[in-house]
Chains A and B, each alone.
Chain A
Amino acid sequence: MYSHNAEQFDAAISDLLAGRALEIPPEDAPLLTLVETASSLRFLPQPEFRSRLRADLLAQAVLPPARRGLFETNPTLPMHSPLKSRAAREAVLPPLFSTGTSMLPVRGSHLAASFALHVTALALVFTSGWWMVKNGPRVRTQLAGRLSETVDYILPVAPSQSHGGGGGGTQDKVPVAHGSAPRFAKEQLTPPTVIMANEAPKLPAEPTVIGPPDLKLPQLGQTGDPMAAILNPPSNGAGMNGGIGSGQGGGVGIGYGPGVGDGRGGGIGGGVFRIGGGVSAPRAIYDPDPEYSEQARKAKYQGSVLLWAVIDAGGHPRDLRIARSLGMGLDEKATEAVSKWRFAPAIKDGRPVAVQISIEVVFRLY
């Protein structure tokens, strides 16, 4: 029992706060009212909480709408709320139906562009897979061709310049005439000539060029420069010091000396060069991949074909020969592919020249 003074009222309050049973007679209505009021006071909020929450809300209020939260997506929304259906939509596609959660504004056009890009990317993924299934063998073949290696036709530069060749002429105004060079000999008694200045010499001597005597050149009947383009009129060419051609020194051709062709000294020069000694290597500028032969692909046959080829001054491969065969149709495939190649020609003394090279074409399956 409590009386209505402060001391005993506090005893009732202490019991109330401690959760103990209160002994208040029902007829003591004033005390009941007081205790009921006191009981309600237990649910007073803390002032600090109230002010702290207010500050939090104000901070939230100044944020952009997109950052204030996703209330509409919250499942605690009352079921009868008109926001419920919208909330459901936004929960599924927030970028489309809500303002989003980003600091940046969410626009439908951005979503559409993103959607289109994703669809395109997915389409590419799926169609590329389908295309690969359909064209797999072909792609593998092409890739094997791409893996083909062309080797050995880039040679190291030699330390000294090549020799050979010769040239001459009598400073004629007319270009040198086409014909056969005279035979090679170890000594030259008289240089070759197209126009005989003395048709009845007192001491006739056979015109020769200096070079290996056993080296035979085709004889066409008329003496001249084998590399000349015209047959007539007869001319010794624009060179000097005797001989035929535009060079000097009593030989035939454009070189210097008593030999034939480009170069200097004697012997045969010009024609097809080898790489090195002032002759740069040709550089492939168009090299389509060789294809795998059907037979070799089925047999999963791999290896390399070694070709010899001449790359002429125009950069075209010619005189292709198989130096090391692989078989199963791959030799033909290698020859077919290399014949289509184009090169930046080899250069000697600033001029494009023909060179002989080796090309190794490797066929490899993966």
Chain B
Amino acid sequence: MNVTEYDAERHLIEAAQRDPSRFAQLYEANFDRVYAFVARRLPSREEAEDVTAEVFHQALSGLASFEWQGTPFVAWLLGIAVHLIARRWQRATKHPEIPADDLEETGVLDQTERHALLAQLVDRLPEDQRHVIRRRFVDQHSIREIAQELGRSEGAIKQLQFRAIETLKIR
């Protein structure tokens, strides 16, 4: 994030602090990062969605008190996520210790950034490829189910899947 991007984000935060409805822009800008970070640390999609939702609700509630300290806004969001995840782990394992702060690990933010970028790239895929990718990886449907849904052959669906992932890899 360069200086211009920092300033833009700062202005966006200040605008959202004045008018909470502007929080939607912060949400759109950071949703993929937060979800990617959370989803890789929880065992199920439902839990990932719960924690992601809680992160943003808490962020909106505390936005008025947020003080700009020069770090990206997503770092604050991921800090909330780390504690929410830790609390879930504590409840699940009844282990009193909080796991190591993932944000301190080398490359976590970069990895999160890559995963968020991948989600954004999926959105730019052609319609049929994007549909196949979401059905296959998000909904976990089989090739046969997708083929039946789209009225195409299984071979054609496999080709769409292959080309989409090739595209994502290349990009």
B-contacting residues of A (Cβ < 8 Å)? 5-7, 9-10, 13, 17, 33-34, 37-38, 40-47, 49-50, 53-54, 56-58, 60-62, 65, 68-72, 74-78, 81-83, 86
**What residues of B have a CB within 8 angstroms of the CB of A42 in the complex?**
137
Nearest B residue to A82 via CB reads B67
Q: Which of A6, A34, A68, A78 is in CB contact (< 8 Å) with B83?
A: A78
Bound-state Cα–Cα, A53 to B60, Å: 12
Q: Are B79 and A44 in contact (CB under 8 A)?
A: no
**How many angstroms from the CA of A46 to the CA of B52 in the assembled complex?**
12
Q: Within residues 24 to 59 of chain B, which ones have a CB less than 8 A from any CB in chain A?
A: 24, 27-28, 31-32, 35-36, 39-40, 45, 48-49, 52-53, 56-59
Complex CA gap A34/B21 in Å reads: 40
Interface set, chain B 57-76, CB cutoff 8 A to A: 57-62, 64-65, 67, 76
B80 x A60 contact (CB < 8 A): no
Q: Are B60 and A69 in contact (CB under 8 A)?
A: yes
A62 to B20, Cβ gap below 8 A? Answer: yes
Choose one: B35, B59, B133; the contact of A41 (CB below 8 Å). B133
Q: How far is the CB of B60 from chain A (nearest CB, A)?
A: 6
Do the beta carbons of B138 and A44 come within 8 Å of each other? yes
Say whether A44 contacts B143, CB under 8 Å. no
Q: Are B57 and A6 in contact (CB under 8 A)?
A: no
Contact (A17, B140) CB under 8 Å given A60-B60, A71-B61, A76-B87: yes
B45 close to A6 (CB less than 8 A): no
Question: Is there an interface contact between A6 and B138, defined as CB atoms closer than 8 Å?
Answer: no
The answer to whether residues A43 and B161 also contact, given A13-B136, A37-B169, A69-B57 and a CB cut-off of 8 A, is: no
Q: Which of B76, B84, B158, B161 is in CB contact (< 8 Å) with A76?
A: B84
A67 CB to nearest chain B CB (Å): 10
Cross-chain contact B52 with A53 (CB below 8 angstroms): yes
- By the criterion CB–CB under 8 Å, are A45 and B21 in contact? no
**Chain B residues close to A by CB (< 8 Å):** 20-21, 23-24, 27-28, 31-32, 35-36, 39-40, 45, 48-49, 52-53, 56-62, 64-65, 67, 76, 79-80, 82-84, 87, 114-115, 118-119, 122, 133-134, 136-140, 143, 155, 158-159, 161-163, 165-166, 168-169
Shortest C-beta distance, A36 to chain B (Å), equals 8
How near does chain A come to B35, taking the closest CB pair, in angstroms? 5
A54 touches B24 (CB 8 A): yes
B119 lies within 8 A of A44 (CB)? yes
Docked-complex contact B119 and A37, CB < 8 angstroms: no
Majority secondary structure of chain B interface residues (helix, strand, loop or mixed): helix
Also in contact, A6 and B162, with CB within 8 A (given A41-B118, A43-B115): yes
Q: How far is the CA of A108 from the CA of B140 in the complex (A)?
A: 55
Which residues of chain B come closer than 8 Å to A33, judged between CB atoms? 169
- Determine whether the beta carbon of A46 is less than 8 Å from that of B21: no
Q: Is the CB of B80 within 8 A of A77?
A: yes
> Is A69 a contact of B49 with CB atoms below 8 Å?
no
Shortest Cβ distance from residue B32 to the other chain A in the assembled complex, whole angstroms: 7
Q: Which 5 residue pairs spanning A and B have beta carbons closest together?
A: A69-B61, A71-B61, A71-B62, A61-B20, A6-B162
Q: When chains A and B are docked, how far (Å) is the Cα of A340 from the Cα of B161?
A: 109
Q: Which residues of B contact A72 (CB under 8 A)?
A: 61-62, 65
Q: List 18 A-B contacts (CB under 8 A).
A: A5-B162, A9-B161, A10-B162, A17-B136, A34-B166, A41-B138, A44-B138, A47-B134, A50-B31, A53-B52, A54-B27, A57-B56, A58-B24, A60-B20, A71-B58, A71-B61, A76-B80, A76-B84
Contacts of A65 in B (CB 8 A): 64
B143, A10: Cβ atoms closer than 8 Å: yes
Q: Which residues of A contact B87 (CB under 8 A)?
A: 75-76
Q: A71-B61, A72-B62, A83-B62 are in contact. Are A53 and B56 (CB under 8 A)?
A: yes
- Chain A residues whose C-beta falls within 8 Å of the C-beta of B162 in the assembled complex: 5-6, 9-10
A186 CB, nearest partner CB in chain B, Å: 109
Minimal beta-carbon separation of A345 from chain B (angstroms) = 77
User: Residue on B with the closest CB to A62?
Assistant: B21
Which residues of the partner chain A approach B36 to less than 8 Å between Cβ atoms? Answer: 43
Q: How far is the CA of A13 from the CA of B142 in the complex (A)?
A: 10
| Chain B residues with CB under 8 A of A54 | 24, 27-28, 31
State the Cβ distance, B119 to closest chain A Cβ, in Å. Answer: 6
Residues of the B chain whose Cβ atoms lie less than 8 Å from the Cβ of A77: 58, 62, 80, 83
Is B158's CB under 8 angstroms from A45's CB? no
Alpha-carbon separation in the docked complex, A314 to B145 (Å)? 110
| Assembly CA distance A23 to B87 (angstroms) | 36
Task: Enumerate chain A residues within 8 angstroms of B32, measured Cβ to Cβ.
Answer: 45
**Docked pose: A78 CA to B83 CA in angstroms:** 7
* Complex interface: chain B residues within 8 A of A34 (CB): 165-166, 169
